[in-house]
Structure 1
Amino acid sequence: MAWECGIDGCGAIFEDVEAAVVHQATEHERPECNVCGTVVPDGYLAIRHAFTEHSRAEYVRAYGASSEDVREREELLEEIESEANIERIASELTR
């Protein structure tokens, strides 16, 4: 299965999810979390931060998100976490 970077229409394609997440974290500008102000890597890691560090209600208020937006991001997190080797991603990012 190929993985596509969905940040700002980037469209880069990767053979595995780990490479896609590392790309998002290293090749795209790091956004500031609208809830707490922490600067986080973009893409999956930004979504993971928002959904593990903050409540869904905080996310909805801070980002003007709809329930469909929340469901879409929850499904993306599930899909990535079911496929990804998180330790490999962490190792790549700490090099």
Structure 2
Amino acid sequence: MDTAWECGIDDCGSVFEDVESAIAHQVTAHERLECGVCGTIVPDGYLAIRHVFSEHSRAEYVRAYGAGAEDVRQREGLLEEIDEVVDQQRLADHLES
């Protein structure tokens, strides 16, 4: 079954046929953000969440963003959902073009 992927940044609402296109959109159409933990500039959306949860502890995320347990669970769930279907090579190809 095919799934539509909606950009969840602000009120964007753009919809894509595949997750790789949605992530590429987030990288190219939205401003980059400064990580609240380390100051690294990262693309907003999925890659920002991936950065925070792969480079920092949950406790660092909670302190830097004033997040609660539900915020952590929601973002970890999103990462798991995307990681199950994303084709890293296809994503790289999207980002290179």
TM, length-normalised to structure 2: 0.94
Aligned pairs for 1:8-23 (under 5 A) are 8-23=10-25
**Where does residue 74 of structure 2 map in the other structure?**
72
Question: Relative to structure 2, which stretch is displaced further, 79-88 or 29-38?
Answer: 79-88
Structure-2 separation of matches of 1:48 and 1:22: 14
Structure-2 separation of matches of 1:87 and 1:57: 32
**Where does residue 82 of structure 1 map in the other structure?**
84
Unpaired runs of 5+ residues, structure 2, are: none
Deviation at residue 7 of structure 1 after TM alignment:
0.1
Instruction: String of CA shifts for 1:72-94, please: whole Å, max 9, x gaps.
Output: 00000000000110121122223
Structure-1 separation of matches of 2:23 and 2:34: 18
Structure-2 separation of matches of 1:15 and 1:91: 16
Secondary structure of the structure 2 residue equivalent to 1:11:
coil
Structure-1 separation of matches of 2:63 and 2:83: 25
Aligned pair count reads 95
TM, length-normalised to structure 1: 0.96
Which structure: greater strand fraction?
Answer: 2
Regions of 4+ moved over 3 Å: none
Unpaired runs of 5+ residues, structure 1, are: none
- Alignment match of 2:5 (pick from 3, 6, 9): 3
